[in-house]
Chain A
Amino acid sequence: MTFATRALPLDPRALAARVDAGRPALLASRAQMASLDNQALADLYRRFGPALHRRALSLLGDEQEALDVTQESFLALMTASGSLRGGASPFTVLYQIATFKAVDRLRRRSRWAGVLSEVAYDEDASWPQASAGESDARRVDAARDLAILTQGEKPQVLTAALLYFVEGYTTEEIGQTLDLSRKTVGKLLARFAQRARDRSKRLKEGQAA
């Protein structure tokens, strides 16, 4: 599955028209998507571009790459032709696209560090984070590990896993950030954790061989 070729159920023109309303997005047809004009795109960018750039920069650590990811995320939104999730807000859709694209780039330069070798989901707690002194280095390693563990995962799962296992979000915070119920977040993470454990075991065996 490629994110870029999946379509989004959002009409960016409608979204841009609601910039001040702060309302969820409307469903849109392909024809509506095609009719997006430049002004609508510019409005969307002014509203969400800075947040997407910060998101990409926090993962990639490179200004230019983050800017590329930001622009590519908006272009993916414009050119998509299928459907991602009905009723999603513009922020959550773009946030997932940007996260997916940034992690995709991160994955290309990542080597397995083993920081996330024993991932497990606990519905009553957030994933333990490193102490302040070691948090930066550990977070970078964890993000790289997660990039490897999420290869082939859907953008929504990838984003939720990153927020939980790397950035220390609780399931409730993930739900609020991505417009998902806490139960849905729990299911996504529990299933991902199982797949990730299997994959990290193989990676560990590969390193030992």
Chain B
Amino acid sequence: MNERKIKDGLLERLLANDLDPAVRAELARTLESSEADRARLAELERDSAAFLALHPPGPLVARFEETTRRRSLFLRLAPFGLAAAATAAILLAVQWSNSLGVDRQGIQLAIYAADDAGERIVSKSVVSSDDAVRFLLESAHVGYVAVLGRDASGEIRVYYPKDGTAAPAYDPKGPMLPGVTELAPNAGREDLLGFFCPIPFDVAPIVEALRAGEPLESVLPAGTLTAKVPLQKH
């Protein structure tokens, strides 16, 4: 059998009848002389039929109906929700603006002591170097988040995900990030940096850029938001 001449992407378009007539004609000529491509096209056709027999459109349509129903419900309730959210936003802004690491771009990072009292640790607070803390990251959108620490010596630590490499998924309905973290056991200033992005991102390039003192723009995916909370450890 001769060598393939047409890539799968084009055979798929041909099979779906989604090509311009000129390209279709060109491919038809190639197919005439290529037994391997004809065989592949026939294989794709058989596979399509088998796929649809095994996975008919019903489940997708049901999923779409559910999505539509939820959106419709949301739109009906949105006016009430908006009024409540606006009130809550004003209250939160007044309450937090003086003490949190509020980034002008729109996310907020807060640190809470992971003890029984669970008090918020405000920006520039003096804390013990080995205090256990929880992180709360406020964003209006679903996405992916990470929290890093940079101390006075330039050492970078990945606090959330703990020593991880990929930013975990984030849901604004649960702004308190899971897990308890011990701050690094060294005294002095430490900046806690929150990162939020609507798409998945790797933490390693950010760590490398911070270590090297390079601008983060080149490693952060478009749309990434940041927040900073400086702490003083003793």
Contact = CB atoms under 8 A, between A and B. Distances in A.
Given A45-B60, A95-B9, A51 B199 contact: no
Interface stretch (B85-93, B178-186, B218-226): B218-226
Interface stretch (B11-19, B113-121, B188-196): B11-19
Contacts of A209: 208
B221 A151 contact: yes
Interface stretch (B51-59, B99-107, B127-135): B51-59
Interface residues of B, number: 45
Given A67-B55, A206-B204, A206-B208, A51 B15 contact: yes
Contacts of B166: 108
A90 interface: yes
A185 to B, nearest CB: 13
B61 A177 contact: no
Contact of A75 (B51, B67, B199, B222): B67
Interface string A172-185: 01001100000000
B78 interface: no
- Which of B17, B23, B60, B218 has most chain A Cβ within 10 Å? B60
B199 A104 contact: yes
A41 interface: yes
A83 interface: no
Contacts of B23: 176
A152 B48 CA distance: 32
Task: Provide the main secondary structure of the chain A interface.
Answer: helix
B200 A78 contact: no
A29 interface: no
B48 A50 contact: yes
B7 interface: yes
Interface in A22-47: 22, 38, 41-42, 45-47
B96 interface: no
Interface in A169-197: 169, 173, 176-177
Task: Provide the main secondary structure of the chain B interface.
Answer: helix
A91 B8 CA distance: 13
A42 B19 contact: no
B159 interface: no
B198 interface: yes
A206 B205 contact: yes
Contacts of B18: 22, 48, 89-91
A95 B24 CA distance: 18
A104 B198 CA distance: 12
A137 interface: no
A71 B204 contact: no
A113 to B, nearest CB: 14
B64 A74 contact: yes
Contact of A51 (B16, B19, B220): B16
List of 8 A-B pairs having minimum Cβ-Cβ separation, nearest first: A152-B221, A50-B48, A22-B17, A177-B9, A42-B57, A51-B12, A91-B18, A45-B57
Interface of B: 7-10, 12-13, 15-19, 23-24, 44, 47-48, 51-52, 55, 57, 59-61, 63-65, 67, 71, 143, 166, 198-202, 204-205, 208-209, 218-223
Given A22-B17, A202-B208, 20 more contacts: A2-B143, A19-B17, A41-B60, A42-B60, A45-B57, A46-B52, A54-B44, A54-B47, A55-B12, A75-B60, A104-B200, A151-B199, A151-B200, A152-B201, A163-B9, A173-B10, A177-B9, A202-B209, A205-B208, A209-B208
